Amino acid sequence: MNSPVKNWREAKKLHIYPGKKGKIVTWTNVFVAPNGFEHEVPYKVAIVELLDGQRITAQVTDSDRDVEIGQKVIVVIRRIGKQNPDDVIEYGIKVKPL
Amino acid sequence: MTGIVSYGTYIPKYRIKLADIARSHKKNGDEITKALQVYEKAVASLDEDTATLAVEASRQALLNGNIDPKDIHAITVGSESHPYVVKPTATIVGELLGVSNNYFAADLEFACKAATAGMQFVWGLVETEKARNGLIIGSDVAQAKPGDILEYTASHAAGAFILGKKNVIAEIVDFVSYTSNTPDFWRRDGQQYPSHGGRFTGEPAYFHHVLGASKVLLEKVKMDASDFAHAVFHMPNGKFPKIAAKRLGFSKEQVATGFIVDRIGNPYSASSLVGLSAVLDIAKPEEYIFLCSYGSGAGSDAFVFKTTKEIITYQKRNKNPVVGQIEDKEYKAYRI
Amino acid sequence: MKIHVAGVGLTRFGELWNKSLEDLAMEAAGQAISDARIDKQKIGAIFVANMLSSKLYGQDHLGAVVTSALGINAAALRVEGACASGGLAVHMAVQSLLSGMYEHVLVVGVEKMTDVLPSLITTALSGAGSEDERRAGLTFPGLYALMARMHMQTYGTTREQMAAVAVKNHFHASLNDRAHFQFEISIEKVLTSPTISNPFTLFDASPISDGAAAVVLSSKPIKKGVVITGSAVATDTIGLDKRKNLTELTATTIAAKKAWKQSGVGVKNIDVMEVHDCFTIAEIMAMEDLGFCAKGEGGRFIESGQTRLGKKLPVNPSGGLKACGHPVGATGIKQIVEIVQQLRGVSGKRQVSGAKVGLTHNVGGTGATVVVHILQK
């Protein structure tokens, strides 16, 4: 079982992120995934630099095509990975191409 | 007067063509699209759900209306695909929007009319000034059994409306509900897909309640179809809303703007909300708008709205009109 | 006081299903103790390097596991710094001798990785990165791939140059009877094998291996031997998104600087080295970060062939992590064992002739911990 407390604590920080814009610093397309992410393979992950200078690491969602260094993206809230059927659902930030 | 202060819509960009679904089931695509009058439907990504769709639509409503999330004092989410059976979507959405702890909240279920029911209840909280602004959301990522007729139309989207008394862009003039216990479409606890009564979902279900509520309301407000600039009905397919409109005396032109099912399918509790948003995107000031939703089980919520002068300024601020979201699409191959 | 490597021990690296963690630790430790010609009761402290035993098998308290198997009551503890656990354990051992509290200490690095499915290993290894990286679904290959892409974009490093690292290390391992993979490969093989996280293919990555390595360090050895003259550690941000520069491991440069100062030698004195090639790009960056070539020149440096056995400056004569294998906790210590044997002149087919000064470079995570050791005859 995952930790509902950890989930709760982490979720409190999320509301400031959706809608923030940035660009891709570097990215990779993951074909061999860790547990909980197999159903999303292949998926892209990027280090993104937001307009305010902060860098974040996030999955690039809604993007079947390749992305590029420098590509503009926007932060969205999505489900993260796959939990067990009796676990608390994890929501988190991802980015999608603009 | 209590009314709509702002609204937001989120239609996911992926589309599946009905013809592709039909082909996979070895059926005739043309026949099916002709029978349903629907060509393609909107589907969310694997990492989206009712809560994430609701957040997208609500964020737009807050941004367009320039409203601080801390001023939202009521949230309802109507859906038939809540992420949890026990744990409210409303609070997940609230926290992701950055609301305070001072708000009324509950999830609603009444099939496709869960969100409009929310509008009725939250109207009460706002009208009595128990809540300054209330956020009502209809959001669905509902599934249908593969091969079932519903599979062709069940789609994903969210609509969010903020109600208040200040800076109202469309007054809620009046509303009624027409309700009965009618088992036309249902899903038992633990079942993944809904079941339905086939043709029984027509006259005794959809039409009886839509016409019932609409007639009662029109009589109550002493208006008839010709008094309205636009009419929006719940759209389970492309045929039913057009037939209901005709029977009530509404013309094709009056129904056209709010008619979105042919291009995005039926996003269940978001259906009539997205239709209403499409109308508000282009409505002129001082126009009457008629809306009647339908939820299986069964019931209809009918509303009369009247736009105000403020709607012009609002339309200029609206960054994401429905028409644009419908056009912004990418096709996905159909896979069972 | 001089820190002597009095004894070394090393098991085979590979899929060793019939050996337990304890079996492997004892095999390596036994060799090192016997090589040092000391009585095990003389061992004052034991440093056990291991990353995954707790998470995968529920076995904590490894210091006691080892002393238990040896049948002694020495001080003992586990040291963990992801893939730098081995190097860190050696560093702790060096410090314990320098303190004067102990005269003979044993360092054992051991890892069992092939008892479970690879997907569990992939997931467990991401514990070396940050929480945000795990939440983004990043794996270890994914993290280094992010750096590889930046290196390619910034300096024009090519896929062929990265593949050359794997090809060279496989050639070295083909001469090493302890290596996990003892066969050669071609550039084509690296480029055409399945993509794991682009631009990396399967052959850009070090394998999942079992194995153990051990050294006995003494301040008063029975027989004088190879000496550790530099032992330095540096760290950097746990997450890549907080790094200042994504095309280098700054911690490598900082640790190396400390090690040069301690040892009094520099880049031009090094005859042989073992660096941390968890992924091909890592060896390229190590050449730059350690100062053996200019920034951005790492790809060309490898391509030139001068780091191959028999050429100017052999790098990873053991086969590196890529071909010798990477049982996480053991690697940092295996690197010491390899350099000691090179300096002793007993490396047989892999002998770097006249080697007098060697260097080891052990990295944890994406460079959040780096340990550099300098050894001299």
- Span A6-59, pLDDT tens digits: 999 999 999 999 999 999 999 999 999 999 999 999 999 999 999 999 999 999
CATH number of A54's domain: 2.40.50
CB-based contact, B70 to chain A, within 8 Å: no
Least Cα distance to B192 among A85, C251, C167 occurs for A85
Closest-CA residue of chain A to B63 = A19
Structure tokens at B153: 């139309």
Q: Is A87 on the interface with C (CB under 8 A)?
A: no
ipTM of the complex: 0.93
If one compares A2 and C317, the residue with the highest pLDDT of the two is C317
* pLDDT attached to residue C225: 85
Question: What's the CA gap between B108 and C187, in Å, rounded?
Answer: 61
**Record: contact A57-C132, CB cut-off 8 A:** yes
Answer yes or no: is pLDDT of B69 > 70: yes
Mutation test of the interface with chain A: which of B43, B47, B86, B328, choosing the one with the most A Cβ atoms within 10 A? Answer: B47
Amino acid letter for position B59: R
Q: What is the pLDDT of residue B155?
A: 97
pLDDT at B248: 97
In the prediction, which pLDDT does B63 show? 96
Catalytic residue selected from C83, C278, C293, C324: C83
Give the number of other CB atoms < 10 A from CB of residue B127. 16
CB contact under 8 A, C122 and A59: no
Residue B91 token pair: 């609070």
- Residue among B82, B112, B208, B292 flagged as catalytic: B112
CATH architecture of the domain B3-169+315-331 equals 3-Layer(aba) Sandwich (3.40)
CB contact under 8 A, A79 and B84: no
Is the bond leading into A85 cis (omega within 30 degrees of zero)?
A: no
Q: Return the H-helix or E-strand segment holding C40.
A: none
Q: pLDDT tens across C111-154, in order?
A: 999 999 999 999 999 999 999 999 999 999 999 999 999 999 99
The whole-number pLDDT of residue B56 equals: 98
Domain ranges (residues) in chain B: 3-169+315-331, 170-309
C158-188 core/surface letters (b: 16 or more CB in 10 A; e: else): ebebbbbbbbbbbbbbbbbebbbbbeebebe
C198-239: pLDDT as tens digits = 999 999 999 999 999 999 999 998 888 899 999 999 999 999
**Does C245 reach chain A within 8 Å, measured CB to CB?**
no
By C-alpha distance, the chain C residue nearest A60 is C136
- Going from the C-alpha of C181 to that of each of A44, B215, C172, the distances in angstroms are 31, 81, 10
Q: How far is A89 from chain B (nearest CA, A)?
A: 8
pLDDT (0 to 100) of residue B335: 77
User: Among B145-149, C57-61, C259-263, C293-297, where is mean pLDDT lowest?
Assistant: B145-149
Q: Is C310 left (phi over 0), alpha (psi -120 to 50) or beta?
A: left
Give residues 22 to 51 of A whose Cβ lies within 8 Å of B: 39-40
In this predicted structure, what is the pLDDT of residue B3?
A: 98
For C171, the 3-state DSSP assignment is helix
Q: Is B83 on the interface with A (CB under 8 A)?
A: yes
Among the partner-chain residues B48, B59, B92, the one whose CB lies closest to the CB of A78 is B48
C232-245 pLDDT, tens digit each:
999 999 999 999 99
User: What residues have CB less than 8 Å from B298, skipping those under 6 apart?
Assistant: B111, B179, B180, B181, B182, B184, B205, B208, B209
The answer to whether residue A81 neighbours chain C at the CB level (below 8 Å) is yes
Q: In sequence order, what DSSP letters do the residues of C326-372 get, joined into one string? A: --HHHHHHHHHHHHHHHHHT--GGG--TT--EEEEEEEETTTTEEEE
Enumerate the residues of chain A whose CB falls inside 8 A of the CB of residue B14: 62
Question: Angle at which helices C62-70 and C21-36 pack, to 10 degrees?
Answer: 60
Is A45 within 8 Å of chain C by CB? yes
Return the residue in A20, A44, A45, A78 with the most chain B beta carbons within 10 A, the one to mutate for interface testing. Answer: A78
List, as ranges, residues 315-334 from B with C-beta within 8 Å of A.
330
- Taking one residue from A and the other from C, the number of pairs with CB-CB distance under 8 angstroms is 94
Query: Which residue in C has a C-alpha nearest to residue A61's C-alpha?
Result: C136
Segment 61-90 of chain A within 8 Å of chain B by CB = 61-62, 64, 76-80, 89
What percentage of chain B reaches a pLDDT higher than 90?
Answer: 95
B vs C contact (3+ beta-carbon pairs below 8 A): no
Matching fold, domains B3-169+315-331 and B170-309: yes
Q: pTM here?
A: 0.91
Q: Is the pLDDT confidence value at B152 over 90?
A: yes
Look at residue C107 and give its three-state secondary structure: strand
Contact by Cβ (8 Å): B152, B41: yes
Residue C260 has pLDDT above 90, yes or no: yes
What's the mean pLDDT in B226-253?
97
* Arithmetic mean of pLDDT, C90-114: 98
Chain A, residues 1-20, CB within 8 A of chain C, namely none
What's the confidence (pLDDT) of residue C334?
Answer: 98
C118, HSE (Cβ side, Cα atoms, 13 Å): 11
Which residues 96-125 on chain C approach chain A with CB closer than 8 angstroms?
119-120, 122-123
Report the alpha-carbon angle B127-B129-B131, nearest 5: 100
Residues of A in contact with C149 (CB under 8 A): 26-28, 69
Which residue's entry shows tokens 């509290």?
Answer: C101
Question: What band does C161 get if pLDDT is binned at 50, 70 and 90?
Answer: very high
- Assess whether B234 carries a catalytic annotation: yes
Neighbouring chains of C at 3+ CB pairs under 8 Å are: A
Q: Is the pLDDT of residue B336 over 70?
A: no
The residue from C4, C104, C276, C326 that is catalytic is C326
What confidence tens digit (pLDDT) does each residue in C72-89 have? Answer: 999 999 999 999 999 999
Catalytic-residue membership of C326: yes
* pLDDT value of residue A68: 95
Min Cα separation B141/chain A (Å): 13
Q: What is the DSSP letter of C121?
A: H
Tokens at C8, concatenated: 């070394």
Task: Give yes or no for a contact between C201 and C194, defined as CB atoms under 8 angstroms apart.
Answer: yes
| Cβ contact, residue pair B95, A19, below 8 Å | no
C83 is known as an active-site residue: yes
Rg (CA), chain A: 14
Average pLDDT of span B260-286 = 97
CB contact under 8 A, C153 and A26: yes
Domain B170-309 bears CATH identifier 3.40.47.10: yes
pLDDT, residue B154, reads: 96
Q: How many domains does chain A have?
A: 1
Residue C224 has what pLDDT? 82
- Give the model's pLDDT for residue B287: 98
> Domain C3-117+208-218 falls in which CATH fold?
Peroxisomal Thiolase; Chain A, domain 1 (3.40.47)
Q: Does residue A1 have a pLDDT over 90?
A: no
Distance CA A37, CA C197 (A): 14
